Amino acid sequence: MHRCKPCEIEGGIVEYYGNSSLRSWGIAAIVFGNTINYGVGVNPNGIVPRYDQSGFVVLRDHEIAHVAQYRALGPFFLPAYLLCEGWARIFRRINAFENAADNACDPQ
């Protein structure tokens, strides 16, 4: 994996690698605006399961889809995402933003 910190990948999207906080949160990556933050040892090109377990996607493609969601909703993204996450956990569903991000990726 090419290591740079940070590294612009395309269209103003910047990636950061090796975020040591993410592992303790139990996540591989997180997006804030135009930035994608990956945890320690996480390969952005890694193939990961879809949230609905119906197939696989490339992690970076999934995260880029979240950047698009941020761009569409601006400051409303984070509260909307968290609301959907709470709803999903209470009713044992998949967060609609995660489903949409998976659907935006080419199946692997």
Residues that bind Zn ion (CB under 5 A): 98, 101
CB of 62 to Zn ion, least distance (A): 5
Q: Which is nearer to Zn ion, 17 or 60 (CB)?
A: 60
CB of 49 to Zn ion, least distance (A): 12
CB of 69 to Zn ion, least distance (A): 9
Q: What is the dihedral of CA 56, 67, 77, 82, to 10 degrees?
A: 40
Q: Which is nearer to Zn ion, 15 or 98 (CB)?
A: 98
Secondary structure percentages of the chain, helix, strand, coil, to 5: 40, 25, 35
DSSP annotation of 102: H
